[in-house]
Amino acid sequence: MKKVVIRQIYRDFKNYENQVLEITGWARSNRAQKQFGFLMINDGSFFESIQVVYEENLENFKEIQKYRVGSALKIIGTVNLTPNAKQPFEIKAQEVILVGDCPEDYPIQPKRHTREFLREVAHLRPRTNLFSAVFRVRSLTAHAIHTFFQDRGFVYVHAPIITASDAEGAGEMFRVTTLDLHNVPKNEEKNIDYKQDFFGKSTNLTVSGQLEAEVFALAFRDVYTFGPTFRAELSNTYKHAAEFWMIEPEIAFADLLDDMNLAEDMVKFIIQYVIEKAPEEMQFFDEFVQKGLLNRLNTLLKSKFHRCDYSEAIEILKKAPKQFENKVEWGIDLASEHERYLTDEYFKAPVFVINYPKEIKAINWWIST
RNA sequence: UACUAAGUAGCUCAGUGGUAGAGCAGUUGACUGUUAAUCAAUUGGUCAUAGGUUCAAAUCCUAUCUUGGUCUCCA
């Protein structure tokens, strides 16, 4: 018996015609009728489910009719092409075996759930379309990031996660300690005595791998970090996570133009890669999460990223036929509303704003001459 | 941090002062090709919590808790 995953069959179904296969997966729906029924089976290898037809002649037909959504099943059957149906092929069952039953109160239904509800059933939400799509795309994105840099000869630097260093302009840090918080040791000046802590000094979770990457760039030339970073900002927005992954390339002997070209190429490469490798998932996002997403991404792939001097950006904003909440004048740091106007309304494309006043940037920035 | 909206059946929601509701899910049945199948029946309720107003509160008022959105911060 040939064991296959559903991704294989979908990608090559014509070559599987009339073959007897064994598939395993979880029921997404079960539409039982009097003399036959249809099971939708998802095995996690692919976004789409596969349709299995079962008929009255199966000895456990009555039981199969009652298999609930969520049940784990093993099916042996033949691949039939169905060119006139909604799906290009289906499996006609010779055997349907219940591997694991699913309780009556299984909470995931074949319908839309809110994300707030899915958070309460966190152990089951990877089985939903939304999480299936998100985490496969996330996995592909990570692979695309590595592929992009590795193909260009960059060295992947693993910056430490526990560190004693801070970074430029980063936010609040999570402390890492083995000290007993109910009985913190004090030194003679009545300050916390970090000499008794695990590392003998105050440490925290990294807010950025930048400093390590810079050090390595001065030896390996082109390097990047890609890993988790942590910030203890009390920001209640969907954009701000306490733990998030960050890419930080550092390139020696490069100028600002090299840097911008690299960033533009990277963003385009990743988008291209994901659209190509996860068309079903991206289609799902386009339809149910953000209408017009694919159109926006394809437009972005074709457009040149704009480059705009800070002073020029200020002039554009001053002339904007629009009232900003934060007043625009030379010397300010751009707020989200200003950035949104530049990208969404003025340039209608991604834009680099360069040559900021040195007063609002960190000390280690290169000064234009 | 501030502002704002919401919390009613397992889920998604309707119900703005007078008997607690629908669809889905579950259960039982019908159905010869379904596509989140359809049809019939049926189980299921501390209306977030506490207090107040009223003859009468899911509905009005106050406080608290929880969640969403926006802002701030930041990336």
**Cβ count near A352 (within 10 Å):** 15
Q: Where in chain A is the domain with CATH 2.40.50.140?
A: 2-100
Q: For residue range A246-282, what is the model confidence (pLDDT) as tens digits? A: 999 999 999 999 999 999 999 999 999 999 999 999 9
State residue A236's pLDDT score: 65
Average per-residue pLDDT in chain A?
A: 90
pLDDT at A171 over 70: no
* Confidence (pLDDT) at A170: 58
Least confident of A13-22, A60-69, A123-132, A334-343: A334-343
Least Cα distance to A158 among A91, A59, A227 occurs for A227
**Which nucleotide is at minimal CA–C1' distance from A243?**
B75
User: What is the three-class DSSP state of A41?
Assistant: strand
Please name the residue that has the structure tokens 């954009």. A239
Chain A window 294-323: residues with CB closer than 7 Å to nucleic chain B are none
pLDDT value at residue A233: 77
* Residue predicted with more confidence, A277 or A174: A277
Is strand B within 7 Å of residue A336 (CB)?
yes
- pLDDT for residue A82 is more than 60: yes
Determine the Cα–Cα distance for residues A217 and A146; give it in Å rounded to an integer. Answer: 17
Mean pLDDT, range A141-163, rounded to an integer:
96
Q: Has residue A368 got a pLDDT over 60?
A: yes
Average pLDDT value for residue range A219-244? 85
pLDDT at A38: 95
Tell if A338 CB is < 7 Å from nucleic strand B. no
Task: State the pLDDT at residue A326.
Answer: 78
Cα Rg, chain A, nearest whole Å: 27
User: Strand B nucleotides below 7 A of a protein CB?
Assistant: 1-2, 10-13, 24-28, 30-37, 67-75
Q: Is the CB of A169 under 7 A from strand B?
A: yes
User: What pLDDT, on a 0 to 100 scale, did the predictor assign at position A186?
Assistant: 92
Query: What value does the mean pLDDT take over residues A151-169?
Result: 87
Q: What is the DSSP letter of A316?
A: H
Of chain A residues 259-298, which have a beta carbon within 7 Å of strand B? Answer: none
In the CATH scheme, what is the homologous superfamily, with its name and number, of domain A2-100? Nucleic acid-binding proteins (2.40.50.140)
Give the mean pLDDT of A78-93. 93
Does pLDDT of A169 surpass 70?
Answer: no
ipTM of the predicted structure? 0.86
Regarding beta strands A72-81 and A89-100, do their DSSP bridges make them parallel or antiparallel, or are they unpaired? antiparallel
Nucleotide nearest to A333 (CA to C1'): B74
CB A23 within 8 A of CB A4: yes
Q: What is the pLDDT of residue A200?
A: 92
Query: Is any atom of nucleic acid chain B found less than 7 Å from the CB of residue A53?
Result: yes
Residue for token pair 């920001």: A235
A132-281 belongs to CATH 3.90.1300.10: no
Confidence of residue A158 (pLDDT cuts 50, 70, 90): very high
pLDDT given at position A261: 95
For residue A17, how many C-alpha atoms fall within 13 Å in the half-sphere facing its CB? 6
pLDDT given for residue A263 in this prediction: 94
Residues of chain A with pLDDT > 90, as a percent, come to 63
Distance in angstroms, CA of A13 to C1' of B66?
Answer: 49
Q: How far is the CA of A278 from the C1' of B24 (A)?
A: 30
Beta bridge partners of A296: none
Overall average pLDDT of the A110-118 stretch: 89
> Closest Cα to residue A77, out of A99, A64, A93?
A93
Range A301-313 average pLDDT: 91
**CATH 3.30.930.10 domain span(s) along chain A:** 132-281
Task: Note the CA–C1' distance, A61 to B4, in angstroms.
Answer: 55
Please tell me which residue lies nearest to nucleotide B2, judged from CA to C1'. Answer: A236
CA of A115 to C1' of B59 (A): 28
| pLDDT tens-digit readout, A49-72 | 999 999 999 999 999 999 999 999
A111 touches strand B (CB under 7 A): yes
pLDDT in tens, A197-207: 999 988 999 98
Query: What is the average per-residue pLDDT within A162-186?
Result: 82
Residue A168 has pLDDT above 60, yes or no: no
Cβ of residue A327 lies below 7 Å from strand B: no
